Amino acid sequence: MRPIGDIEHDIDNNRKNLQPLLRQQDELRRELQKAKSQEFIRVNNITIDDVELSDGPEWYGHVTEFIDKKLKISAKRFAEWNGRIYFRTDLVGGRMPDMPARIEDL
């Protein structure tokens, strides 16, 4: 059996060696998310005018309030909730699928 200090040293060295790779992986994930968001926006021809925004003069504490007070009467194709862009019909229909588009990418 190896001494505890040797094992701890190896673990510490591995952690130090992995840090740059983990940072790079996080950066690549952010880049991929942004690319997916921009692609979805491009393919669906989304502009800010196509999106019913959840922020503004009225604050909605829960998505159901947003749906009942704003989305059910909206004619816009898309809706934003917590920074994500959804098909308005999905939210009105009670669905909140994992969508790639973010409002910040418009």
Average confidence (pLDDT) per 10 residues, the chain, 106 residues:
94 95 97 98 98 85 92 96 97 96 97
Q: Quote the longest CA-to-CA distance of the chain.
A: 70
Judge whether 102 and 81 are in contact, CB under 8 Å.
no
Domain boundaries, the chain: 4-105
In whole angstroms, what separates CA 48 from the centre of its chain? Answer: 17
Predicted local confidence at residue 74, as pLDDT: 95
Judge whether 39 and 91 are in contact, CB under 8 Å.
no
